Every structure is written in structure tokens, then in C-alpha cells.
Amino acid sequence: MKPAARALAAWALALWVGTVAAEPLSYRFDPAHTFVHFELLHFGTSTVRGRFGPVDGHVVLDRSAGSGELGLRIPTGTVSTGVAVFDARVRQSDMLATDAFPEAFFVASRFRFEGQALAEVRGEFTLRGVSQPLSLRARHFACREEDVVNGARDEVCGGDFEAEFTRGDFGLNYGLPFIANRVQLRIQVEARRPIQPKR
């Protein structure tokens, strides 16, 4: 098991044990509403856009303490730009190398809140086996309650986040300088947890 995967597994076990009697609330990402989108300039003319997902992971929020924990797995083989031939090229060994690195990871424990709303998450992003700091900034964030089945309800929290990184820092140098080194991330996320039905 790769170091990033071991760290994520250890974090998930600690999260499960620690939330049994703790105040922080544990949520699981909803794969139908959680995707990572990317953008980068192509030959100085147009912007290439695509996405990864669905994405799997957990998040713990402690609003009273203004803290949290997050673990996110991104399946790199799901890359989709809308052009199948280009997607196959992006998966090759000199780009995402999806055979050797089938997952990217984001693990974070530094959360910044503004009131009850999550404003920023700082952590470590691992791509192609290389780890670098990454900060996700919230464009907006909110929570709601939602009916599920048989009178049960979920609390759903989510929003849109943005970040940027330099792909060369991860050994992703193909096409430089004609294809931009700077990659913009747009992340849509919803996470949910069961809550007791109202009486």
C-alpha cells in the first residue's frame, strides 16, 4: 500500500473511533454531487476543461471548535473532458499515469470557519505519488435537512470550492510551456449524515 493510501486508511480508522462519543459530526461525501473540475490554458488560445469523479471520502466538522478533518480519494482514471481520444491521452504515463497512480488524495486537518460556514480547508494534495500543500477556498457553503425514507432525515452540507496548483510540481511536465503550468480547480461537494427523525 502506498504511503498516501496508508495515511488515509489510518486517518479513516482514527476518525471512526474518535467520533463514537465525540462532539464533531461525521459526514460521507455524496458521489452523485461530488466532482473535481479542472481548467488550464491550451496553447494560449482556449481553456481545456474536464472533471474527475464521482469522488469518495469523509469529512468531520466541529463548528463549535472551528475545526475539522477531511479525507478525499480522487479516481484519476475517471478523467473526462468530453473528448474520448483526449481522455485516453491524458491517462498515459507521461501525463496522469493512471495505471501507476489510479488515485489522487487530499487530506486536511486545518479548517477555517466564518461563523458556522466553512471558509477554507488547508491540507496536502497527492498526485502521481507526489504530495504538495493545497488550500481549498469556499465560494459558498451551507447545510440543510433532507427527507430520505421512512421518516428518516439527513443533514446535507456542501458548497463550491476553488484552488490552484502548478502541475510541474507533481512531475506533470508534458506540453510545457505551450500548455499552461497553472491548473485551476473547481470542486463541487455535498456530504451527508443521518439524523434522528423528528417526532
Q: Is residue 61 part of a domain?
A: yes
The whole-number average pLDDT for the span 173-192 is 94
pLDDT at 11 over 50: no
Higher-pLDDT residue of 2 and 175 is: 175
- Whole-angstrom Cα distance, residue 85 to residue 23? 48
Q: Count of domains in the chain? A: 1
What is the percent of the chain with per-residue pLDDT over 70, rounded to a whole number? 87
Higher-pLDDT residue of 1 and 94 is: 94
Q: What is the pLDDT of residue 20?
A: 39
- The DSSP symbol for 51 reads E
Q: What is the pLDDT of residue 16?
A: 41
Q: What is the pLDDT of residue 6?
A: 54
Q: What is the 3-state secondary structure (H, E, C) of 106-147?
A: EEEEEEEEECCEEEEEEEEEEECCEEEEEEEEEEEEEEEEEE
Q: Is residue 141 part of a domain?
A: yes
Stated as kind and residue range, the H or E segment containing 9 is: helix 3-18
Burial class (CB in 10 A: 0-12, 13-18, 19+), 109: middle
Instruction: Give this prediction's pTM.
Output: 0.82
CA angle, 186 then 171 then 176, to 5°: 80
In the structure, what pLDDT confidence band is assigned to residue 1 with cuts at 50, 70 and 90? low
Helices (H), 67-149: 84-90
Give the mean pLDDT of the chain: 88
Among 9-13, 28-32, 124-128, 177-181, whose mean pLDDT is lowest? 9-13
The whole-number average pLDDT for the span 112-123 is 91
What is the percent of the chain with per-residue pLDDT over 90, rounded to a whole number? 73
Q: What is the pLDDT of residue 23?
A: 76
CA distances from 147 to 88, 194, 195 (A): 40, 10, 10
Cell for 48? 481545456
What's 179's domain CATH number?
A: 2.40.128.110
Q: Is residue 183 part of a domain?
A: yes
pLDDT at 185 over 70: yes
Parent domain of 93: 3-8+24-195
pLDDT at 10 over 70: no
Q: Is residue 83 part of a domain?
A: yes
Q: Is residue 18 part of a domain?
A: no
Q: Is residue 15 part of a domain?
A: no
Q: Is residue 14 part of a domain?
A: no
